[in-house]
A and B are shown apart, each in its own frame.
Chain A
Amino acid sequence: ETALTQSPASISATPGDHVTISCRASQDIDDDVNWYRQKPGEAPVLIIEEGKTLAPGISARFSGSGYGTDFTLTIDNFDSDDAANYFCLQHDSFPLSFGQGTKVGIK
């Protein structure tokens, strides 16, 4: 089984900030990582697929990078509407697994 470790668990950002979230896999998973954003009381929304491809309708302020075991989600020019929980998912092998999540709040 592949475990995903996200860091930090939480972060506070000021509008305009550059925010980075890390997701580390316990074994090589190529670029089989997606990133999701979830606001309280809502279903998750796909923001990045295959490590770095922006999902349709998602702001270009979001970007993903990484390959193998280390992956990063970056939010440029943080906006207050970006405050949410962010999760990485590996779909390289079964069982699929999510990271524990990163709560991004407003400073």
Chain B
Amino acid sequence: QVELVESGGGVVQPGTSLRLSCAASGFSFSDYGMHWVRQAPGKGLEWVAVTSSDATKRYYAESVKGRFSIYKDNLKNTLYLYMGGLRTEDTAVYYCAKDLRVAATTATTYGMDVWGQGTTVTVSS
């Protein structure tokens, strides 16, 4: 079955960088776009970024644009999120999620169906 396993979270200081990973299995990874979504403690869900199935198109939330970068390695079946210039407000559980279906174009998304269990990032001095 489809499985997504995130890793790489931890406690870091403001201004530093961190790389999250998401190992995918159970589906044809190269056929699907992939998302990162985060949830601050006690808060709702915030969409962070998406990459197209072939990794040629990437879109970001305004709150992370210029600081975060999403990358999809179709040879390793792994999704990454490079986070730079971390701020205290980036503290959250970060989920990776698979797009619901194979997209008609690289600029299309149908939202998420399967989610990982999440990895926690805490930004604190």
Contact = CB atoms under 8 A, between A and B. Distances in A.
Interface of A: 1, 32, 34, 36, 38, 43-46, 49-50, 55, 85, 87, 89, 91, 94-101
A101 B45 contact: yes
Given A87-B44, A95-B47, A95-B61, A43 B109 contact: no
A91 B45 contact: no
Contacts of B100: 34, 46, 49
Q: Which 10 A-B pairs have the closest CB atoms?
A: A43-B115, A91-B111, A96-B47, A34-B111, A94-B59, A101-B44, A98-B45, A46-B113, A95-B61, A91-B109
24 contacts: A34-B110, A34-B112, A38-B45, A43-B116, A44-B95, A44-B115, A46-B111, A46-B112, A49-B111, A49-B113, A50-B110, A87-B44, A91-B109, A91-B111, A94-B109, A95-B47, A95-B61, A95-B62, A96-B50, A96-B111, A98-B47, A99-B44, A101-B44, A101-B45
Contacts, number: 62
A101 B100 CA distance: 21
B73 interface: no
A43 B45 contact: no
Given A43-B95, A87-B44, A95 B59 contact: yes
A36 B114 CA distance: 11
B17 interface: no
A44 B110 contact: no
Given A91-B110, A96-B111, A44 B61 contact: no
B124 interface: no
A92 to B, nearest CB: 9
A87 B45 CA distance: 8
